[in-house]
Structure 1
């Protein structure tokens, strides 16, 4: 990942700090991923140069950690409170998405001199969800909120939108929407499924609604423009689609567009990436003379006529969410992959080639690795640090 470091003033929760804009990405660790203590110490010194934390500033310390080490709270679940306990202790409560984040914030507070740190943070998805940790919006639309209480609207989820479920509370589900956004939706608006059914519904051609669907007749249903539904067959002037709950519906061809997976364009991108195999790793590079991870992805998509941002932490906002650390069944060749460092921040990207294989630029050269432990080219460090996948073309 390319990044930038610059000195700047920053005010968080009323406290002004001087620090760098981003921490250097640590090297990959083993599957258990110990935290990068040196980076956390630098972070702690930005808020308290003497590393003597003040319990009255706990909320500010947590907020600063979130700002610096959580890539984007719109895309990463992070709800953390810290309360003083005893003379120098701290109790953490709430939830985060990744174990790296959980471990890092505990170590960060320890470096600030708080002991003991009782780390009660839950990592998601919550085990109480069971196997049905996936879903689809089954109503016309469902507003997604920043909190379980219906206060601040984050986004709107449309009929057919896919969801990765994270936790449930008071009749609401914390989810990653299809665009990756984190938010709370009403459980009654979600058709929950297991992983196999989730991946099957997302596979193959889909019908994209171009206009609002208002069909009271047989097979009719109401759906908003922008909805995506699984294509079943062509029937006269209609497309027969599968609704999220398994029922069939009709979409007039004048109201929808049938789209197949763009295999030819995906071939162009994957072939362009493979042309850079064995190219030396060069920070900032984008040619056969040298290339970095986000440069490889950017150049590959440019070959297919698609412009993407330069850095991994910018690229990770683009496209539909198709994979998470805990589910890769819906991933498809051509999806972009994102990995986090030992402290939980996006630090690396690559391109999925299908069948567990992915290509990425790492030192010393661009290579193809695998997520499958049975493959000779298995990369345990990247398997452990994988965060999520995105799809730019549907």
Structure 2
């Protein structure tokens, strides 16, 4: 039987080695499942739809037993980008942990403005209803389309770039795109070269007039034989050559010279576009 676990922190950093000072490869969010590959001082894991295999602190993941209630239990999802859980249904009580958008917790009870929840490691807490939603209700109202992806992208404006980041605490370019999909109910691969294989490749006009909102734009090194091998960066097209991306921080640039947000360096590195939303 496959050894699996559930991420236990709001954001779990996955490192290249068993050391918090080693390179961060990716991140997992509270409530995500992970395959446990090896147990030593730290635990080696692989997250769903993520090719990275790396090490996490043992307190960051809770083993999932076959009879564990977590899998089939009702859950809530955190919908605000930042928040906290508390020991009592009172925001002035002791904080249990921080929370970020996309976190999932087991729902125990609904009180007057709070959900009583349980963490994978059995800690219990209260989460304000104002920053969360029952997962079943959230799934029913999800709309995985360009307007919703772009609305989420804009809500993350200004958050700093962090190599390996996939959370509202900081994200790299592909982590940003992945989070925009995740928060709208979509699941896409972790890295930009994988995301470059989603949807349909576009034959672009010289003035880029056939780009549509939500198209994925790829940048990097020109490799004529196999353009995907040259992918180093990704952004999401907004309209009229303008795109939103994580580079330094999440902001907007343009591929067009007459735009005040024109980025000459990235335009030189522009490779191709993929259409995911039709």
Q: TM-score, normalised by structure 1?
A: 0.32
* Structure label with greater radius of gyration: 1
Q: TM-score, normalised by structure 2?
A: 0.44
